[in-house]
Structure 1
Amino acid sequence: MAGPIYNEKNIKAPLYVQVYGTITGWLKEGKYKPGDKLPGENILAEQLNVSRGTLRQAMLLLQEDGLIMNHQGKGNIVLSNKDMSQSGMEKICNPMVEFCNEPIDKVTLTIGFQPPTPKYQEVLKLSASTVIAIIDIVYYSQGAAQGFANVYIPYDVLVKGNVDFDDNDEVYRYYCELLETGGLYSDTRLRVTSARERTAQVLGIKEDDTLLIMEEEIYTEFDAPVLSQKLLFRPSQYEFALRRKNDRM
């Protein structure tokens, strides 16, 4: 196999995702409070300078995430704070996007290939003769880097998805699909770390600045790992939600 392949280009989030982020920002800022009715579709579409079709896609995402509810004859109503916090880290998602305080509006991606190190042979249950894809992803909001992800995916997993390695948009979409539908459960660990030189350069911060790091493996229903990832967050830019409960007999 040829040496590592490195491609990089900007990947803009779909327009309806940007609209979703804008409206979510309004809710966080308190522009619309729990129980408030959002403006009608025509007004919102005009305010956001998008088509009604794009707006409706964003509204469906807001409804799926429990942020608003559509009442027939009444329109879209903002849910209570309790309802808005139901979806948290207990759901497998892309935490870089879901928990950022500002809407993520741009992603850059590089991809390379190499044999797995002993650590990833064990974590991903691979032999030394196999190949893994190493995907570095930087998440931006309004031009500022908010988080940095190192993702490790077995080459065979990407091949099964018929992924075009030269199309970074497609690689990123498939990665998101693996998070949302390819995995049944995860092993996730959170800790605090200090920024090293490379990460500091990527995120535009100082070396030794504090970062929050999430390390996790995503598994299928057959306990087969589909990816391992290390996510580095700027603590001031992220807020995580987790619903905990006691089992009662």
Structure 2
Amino acid sequence: MNDINLIQKPKELRYVTVYNKLFKMINEGTFAEGSRLPTEPELAKFIGVSRTTLRQALALLQDDGLVKNIRGKGNFIVKSKTNKLDGLEKIGHPVYKCIDDVIDDVEFALRIEPSTDYFNQILIKKTAAVVLIDRWYKTKENTVAYTFTLIPIETISKFNINLNNKDEVLKFLENDIYELANNVLTEIKYSTSGNFAAKKHQISSEDKFHLIQETICKDDNFPIVSNKHYLPIKSSSIKLCPVK
């Protein structure tokens, strides 16, 4: 019988070893959920590695959603449990699905303008006027996401929306359109324009954003609403749960 040649397991990379060590410590509760890790010099000295190796391990932990880096404050252990079980494959509001924080307030601004060639192109048809809506999503008075909404005037008439009633407009945009929709085209892009797109409120200290563009339709191919959602990459995650 011929000898079986076993492939020797390659030596584990140093940063992978550190990653595994920190992963074990986090899951065993050495660092409690929501707590701040020791500073990078302290943690590197404690584990006995260089700061470069430590940062490589921390970057992997951040990718896995176990550690979150907040600029100027340090690295924090992310809570492992979430009630956001479904992803973007199910029709629903992307801000609430993807932002890590709990939204407790929505600031709202509305204006009506004549349509333009750009708006007509987005809406795939000509319309006389459009309703433009800015929404700033807040957590404990801090703005954490921004949405720009474009509504053809026909949508307002079709669904009998009272533009003078803020609560009614918000209910339509936050809830009703996702129940009415039978077709939503969702495009996910990387953007650096979130802060100036959001105008009056800065939504992140970094110019790195997920841009989720929604074209929402009902009954035909013409959108009833078009949304641009800007979510800071450092405080949001995009999940898809495809089923066969």
Q: TM-score, normalization: structure 1?
A: 0.59
Aligned-partner Cα distance in 1 for 2:241–2:110:
34
Q: How do residues 107-126 of structure 1 correspond to structure 2 at under 5 angstroms?
A: 107-126=106-125
Instruction: Give how far 1:146 is off.
Output: 0.8
Give 3-state SS (helix, strand or coil) of 1:152's partner. strand
Instruction: Give how far 1:171 is off.
Output: 0.7
Contact 1:189 1:216 in 2 (8 A): yes
Aligned-partner Cα distance in 2 for 1:197–1:176:
23
What corresponds to 1:145 in structure 2? 143
Give 3-state SS (helix, strand or coil) of 2:99's partner. coil
What corresponds to 2:100 in structure 1? 101
Aligned-partner Cα distance in 2 for 1:224–1:100:
28
**1:161 corresponds to 2:159:** yes
Shift of the 145–131 alpha-carbon distance from structure 1 to 2, 3 Å rule, reads same
Which of the numbers 163, 168, 172 marks the counterpart of 1:174?
Answer: 172
**Which entry has the higher C-alpha Rg, 1 or 2?**
2
**Where do 5+ consecutive residues of structure 2 fail to align?**
1-31, 35-80
Aligned-partner Cα distance in 2 for 1:204–1:232:
9
Q: Which residue identity is paired with 2:88?
A: M
Instruction: Give how far 1:145 is off.
Output: 0.6
Shift of the 204–174 alpha-carbon distance from structure 1 to 2, 3 Å rule, reads closer
Contact 1:194 1:209 in 2 (8 A): yes
Q: TM-score, normalization: structure 2?
A: 0.60
Identical amino acids, percent of aligned pairs: 17
**Where do 5+ consecutive residues of structure 1 fail to align?**
1-28, 32-80
Instruction: Give how far 1:198 is off.
Output: 5.0
**1:183 corresponds to 2:210:** no
Aligned-partner Cα distance in 2 for 1:98–1:86:
9
Please report the RMSD computed on the Cα atoms of aligned residues, expressed in angstroms. Answer: 2.7
What corresponds to 1:23 in structure 2? none
Deviations 1:29-58 (A, max 9, x none): 989xxxxxxxxxxxxxxxxxxxxxxxxxxx
Aligned-partner Cα distance in 2 for 1:244–1:114:
39
What corresponds to 1:91 in structure 2? 90
Instruction: Give how far 1:86 is off.
Output: 5.1
What corresponds to 2:28 in structure 1? none
Contact 1:89 1:241 in 2 (8 A): yes
Shift of the 217–143 alpha-carbon distance from structure 1 to 2, 3 Å rule, reads same
Contact 1:190 1:215 in 2 (8 A): yes
Aligned-partner Cα distance in 2 for 1:143–1:225:
32
Q: Which residue identity is paired with 1:96?
A: V
Q: Which residue identity is paired with 2:108?
A: L
Deviations 1:123-164 (A, max 9, x none): 313325x11100100000111111100000111211222222
Instruction: Give how far 1:204 is off.
Output: 4.7
Aligned-partner Cα distance in 2 for 1:173–1:93:
13
Give 3-state SS (helix, strand or coil) of 2:201's partner. helix
Aligned-partner Cα distance in 1 for 2:189–2:101:
22
Q: Which residue identity is paired with 2:86?
A: S
